[in-house]
Amino acid sequence: MTRILATGTFDLLHPGHIYFLTQARALGDELFVIVARDSNVTHKPKPIVPEEQRLEMVSALGIVDKALLGSEKDMFEPLKHIRPDIIALGYDQRFNAENLEEELAKRGLPANVVRIPLSKECPLCSTGAIIKEVLKRYG
Ligand SMILES: Cc1cc2nc3c(=O)[nH]c(=O)nc-3n(C[C@H](O)[C@H](O)[C@H](O)COP(=O)(O)O)c2cc1C
Ligand SMILES: Nc1ncnc2c1ncn2[C@@H]1O[C@H](COP(=O)(O)OP(=O)(O)OP(=O)(O)O)[C@@H](O)[C@H]1O
């Protein structure tokens, strides 16, 4: 069994998220997903949808075997329980794959880190694009 882990905020689910998770799932046999905590989303505006509701949406996806909220303090903590073989990084996730592999190995959590590319173009395949469209129409 090859266990894949994907991570992200997954605010306002869209087909880009589905593409990312489908590609991640195709790397192995089972897909775990860590949903980012509200308190840790500091690299962009706070999510519209609260963490429990983002978790509920991701958990309901057929391609996801298990989704869970991440740790508020230590991103490596949930990995001790999940023990993924492969970590799928999104095209725009700000982690260096080699550094991450080194940090994981240091902690006795060896995993390969694989970068998933951007999906083909679609009108609202990013959370930012959805928010901009809503503001255009209702702002
Ligand atoms: C291996 C790994 C573990 C992570 N663990 C957590 C965690 O425990 N808690 C959390 O809030 N975010 C965690 N994150 C970060 C987010 O889930 C997410 O990657 C980050 O918010 C940036 O992604 P985004 O641009 O898709 O929002 C982890 C990321 C990686 C790569
Ligand atoms: N169109 C897409 N193609 C491939 N991967 C995507 C696409 N959109 C999002 N992802 C991936 O899904 C994961 C979760 O995405 P995230 O929650 O950051 O949403 P986002 O739509 O990228 O948000 P924003 O527009 O605010 O950047 C990230 O790893 C991201 O790279």
Q: What is the pLDDT of residue 87?
A: 98
DSSP E strand stretches across the chain? 3-8, 30-35, 66-69, 86-89, 112-115
DSSP E strand stretches across 10-125? 30-35, 66-69, 86-89, 112-115
Q: What is the pLDDT of residue 90?
A: 98
Task: Please indicate whether residue 75, judged by its CB atom, sits closer than 6 Å to ligand 1.
Answer: yes
Mutate to test the pocket of ligand 2, among 10, 42, 91, 114 (most ligand atoms within 8 A of CB): 91
Cβ atoms 54, 17 nearer than 8 A: no
State the Cα–Cα distance between residues 132 and 126, nearest whole angstrom.
10
Which ligand number lies closest to the CA of residue 94? 1
Name which residue sits closest to atom 2 of ligand 1, judged by CA: 75
Give residue 75 CA to ligand 1 midpoint distance, Å: 7
Give residue 12 CA to ligand 2 midpoint distance, Å: 10
Sheet holding 66-69, edge to edge: 66-69, 30-35, 3-8, 86-89, 112-115
Q: What is the pLDDT of residue 32?
A: 99
Which ligand number lies closest to the CA of residue 34? 1
> pTM to 2 decimals?
0.96
- Write the DSSP symbol of residue 117: P
125 DSSP β-pair partners:
none
State the Cα–Cα distance between residues 4 and 38, nearest whole angstrom.
23
CATH of 3-138, one of 3.40.50.620, 3.30.300.130, 1.10.1060.10, 3.40.47.10: 3.40.50.620
Tokens of 74: 């230590």
What contacts 130, CB < 8 A, 6 or more positions away?
A: 12, 14, 124
Give residue 77 CA to ligand 1 midpoint distance, Å: 12
Predicted complex ipTM:
0.95
pLDDT in tens, the chain (139 residues): 999 999 999 999 999 999 999 999 999 999 999 999 999 999 999 999 999 999 999 999 999 999 999 999 999 999 999 999 999 999 999 999 999 999 999 999 999 999 999 999 999 999 999 999 999 999 8
Give residue 96 CA to ligand 1 midpoint distance, Å: 13
Q: What 3-state class would DSSP assign to 66?
A: strand
